[in-house]
């Protein structure tokens, strides 16, 4: 029987969409060329974080955190979930003032957070360098192991009758796709949830690959206790050109430390670059000098799908019939996957979503990829 919905991509976004759509009684088929939870999902750090660069980003990320809390309740170990919290580190008094403004914005959205001074900062994280001003502690941020969460979401969908097809989609058709072996799959609706790979199928989309590096150390339990991010990270994360690095450390449940982050435009070469790794490490050691004594086991890269305004594309494609988009999440795909799926499922079924869907509609961009207004 022909499925109601065909989803291209079985990363965290595609798996979440399959879960949400199958929960509404729709027949769902996913198509993935590699393995479930590969691509950007496997490359990501798995940080579940409320981001407030703009109101729409905060609405989507904070709502999705609520959904993540429901999902992992009672099964934290299955997702390798940890409610570690995030400390946005303030290097000086000016950044501490920015932390206070950030706290006010987050509290207005019901997020629990506290501005901490230097003494409390070093009690929480003694390996930070001396003479920092303080920071903002966001208690409910957490982390998961994204490939495992993607598989769990997909297994829920499969239990409701969803199916998984292994194959590479090479073309879109009205109500279907063409695979690399020449076979065709048809459905009432098609959802593109394949990150930067969406550009190969719909090159007109306002997406741009943004490469990132991640490193992981050997096991050093207790080296850090929270996700640590410099307050300048937001400026780096939303840069529209060039290369940038920012201090970002994450304590894994294994006792290992994940080291981020970098951003590079205009390359799809997934090779790890020693020069970029050196810049990342230098930035991390600047904030945590003892990190220089740890052993780094490996480094990998991934490609984030970025839109011009930093918000994802969630909703009907404005130029193709029966095509829906769930892509363009840049570095927030893990965090916002569950809310994305809810918003997409609500639009496809004509139901009310938990938040306003309008800021994320693909129709906000014109034919040249520029946002209206």
Mean pLDDT in residue range 251-269: 94
Note the pLDDT of residue 266. Answer: 83
Q: 185: which 2 tokens?
A: 């799959």
Residue 368 has pLDDT above 70, yes or no: no
Q: What is the pLDDT of residues 123-140, one digit of tens each?
A: 999 999 999 999 999 999
- Local structure of 207: helix, strand or coil: coil
Q: What's the whole-number average pLDDT of the chain? A: 95
Residue 371 DSSP symbol: B
Are 216 and 301 in contact by the 8 Å Cβ rule? The answer is no
* Structural domains in the chain plus CATH codes: 5-45+146-207+309-364 (3.50.50.60), 83-141+208-306 (3.30.9.10)
Pairwise CA distance, residues 140 & 197, whole Å: 32
* Confidence band of 234 (pLDDT split at 50, 70, 90): low
Mean pLDDT in residue range 30-47: 96
Residue 164 has pLDDT above 80, yes or no: yes
Residue 235 has pLDDT above 70, yes or no: no
Mean pLDDT in residue range 55-76: 97
User: Environment class of residue 271 by beta-carbon count within 10 Å: exposed (0-12), middle (13-18) or buried (19+)?
Assistant: exposed
Q: 51: which 2 tokens?
A: 């981001």
Residue 219 has pLDDT above 90, yes or no: yes
Note the pLDDT of residue 175. Answer: 87
Residue 72 has pLDDT above 90, yes or no: yes
Q: What is the pLDDT of residues 311-333, one digit of tens each?
A: 999 999 999 999 999 999 999 99
Residue 236 has pLDDT above 70, yes or no: no
Note the pLDDT of residue 202. Answer: 97
Alpha carbon separation from 74 to 34, 69, 79, 80, 338 (Å, rounded): 30, 10, 10, 12, 18
**What length does the chain have?**
373
Mean pLDDT in residue range 91-107: 95
Residue 133 DSSP symbol: -
């Amino acid at each position: 029987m022909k499925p109601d919905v065909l989803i291209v991509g079985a990363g965290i976004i595609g798996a979440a969409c399959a879960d949400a759509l199958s929960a509404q009684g729709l027949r769902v088929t996913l198509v993935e060329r590699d393995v479930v939870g590969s691509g950007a999902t496997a490359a990501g750090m798995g940080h579940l974080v409320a981001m407030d660069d703009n109101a729409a980003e905060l609405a989507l990320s904070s709502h999705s955190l609520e959904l993540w809390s429901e999902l992992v309740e009672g099964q934290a170990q299955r997702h390798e979930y940890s409610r570690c919290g995030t400390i946005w580190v303030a290097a000086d008094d000016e950044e501490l003032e920015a932390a206070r403004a950030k706290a006010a914005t987050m509290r207005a959205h019901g997020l629990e957070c506290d501005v901490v001074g230097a003494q409390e900062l070093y009690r929480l994280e003694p390996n930070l360098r001396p003479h920092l001003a303080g920071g903002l502690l966001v208690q409910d941020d957490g982390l998961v192991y994204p490939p495992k969460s993607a598989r769990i979401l997909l297994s829920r969908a499969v239990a409701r009758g969803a199916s998984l097809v292994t194959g590479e989609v090479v073309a879109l058709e009205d109500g279907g796709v063409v695979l690399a072996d020449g076979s065709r799959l048809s459905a009432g609706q098609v959802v593109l949830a394949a990150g930067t790979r969406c550009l190969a199928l719909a090159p007109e989309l306002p997406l741009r690959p943004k490469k990132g590096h991640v490193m992981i150390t050997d096991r050093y339990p207790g080296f850090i206790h929270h996700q640590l991010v410099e307050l300048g990270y937001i400026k780096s994360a939303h840069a529209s050109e060039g290369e940038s690095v920012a201090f970002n450390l994450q304590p894994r449940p294994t006792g290992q430390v994940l080291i981020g982050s970098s951003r590079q435009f205009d390359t799809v070469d997934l090779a790890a670059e020693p020069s970029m790794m050196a810049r990342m490490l230098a930035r991390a050691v600047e904030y945590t000098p003892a990190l220089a004594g740890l052993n780094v086991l490996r480094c990998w890269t991934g490609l984030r799908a970025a839109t011009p305004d930093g918000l994802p594309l969630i909703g009907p494609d404005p130029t193709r019939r029966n095509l829906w988009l769930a892509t363009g999440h840049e570095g927030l795909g893990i965090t916002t996957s569950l809310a994305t799926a809810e918003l997409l499922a609500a639009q496809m079924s004509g139901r009310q979503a938990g938040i306003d869907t309008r800021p994320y509609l693909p129709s906000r961009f014109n034919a040249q990829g520029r946002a209206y207004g």
